[in-house]
Amino acid sequence: MSDKVSSQMLKGVLTGSILLLLSKEELYGYKLSEQLEQFGFTEISKGTIYPLLLSLEKKNLIVGTMRPSDNGPKRKYYSLTKNGYEEKNAFLSQWTVLKNNVDRLIERTEGYEDQ
């Protein structure tokens, strides 16, 4: 059995994770991918992150601002909008319910505790 997470399952979680990270600080795409890697999202390609950022921007959940870089061309830094903070909070609520339900299911069907 593989430890890889299916792309379908990952997409919604990744979107919520991006909102969580951007709620703490403004980040540009590459730095965001590095932060995700620190939390175990090591299989995420840069080609996955940038389309998600574009989608979040189109939905008015984040806003991008071009800023000078010490190391070359300008970078686009992303931050949450008011709608983005609301979406982040909705994600947290939904995640808590989903996580608790799945944890309960696993405990009762597989005999695991504290998963």
* Domain boundaries along the sequence of the chain: 7-110
What is the model's pTM?
A: 0.85
The pLDDT of residue 70 is 85
Kindly state the average pLDDT of the residues 55-76.
94
| Cα–Cα distance for residue pair 23/5, rounded to 1 Å | 25
- In this structure, what is the dihedral angle of CA atoms 63, 46, 95, 103, given to the nearest 10 degrees? -170
Share of the chain above pLDDT 70, in %: 90
Q: Looking at the structure, give the CATH architecture of the domain made up of residues 7-110.
A: Orthogonal Bundle (1.10)
Residue 76 has pLDDT above 50, yes or no: yes
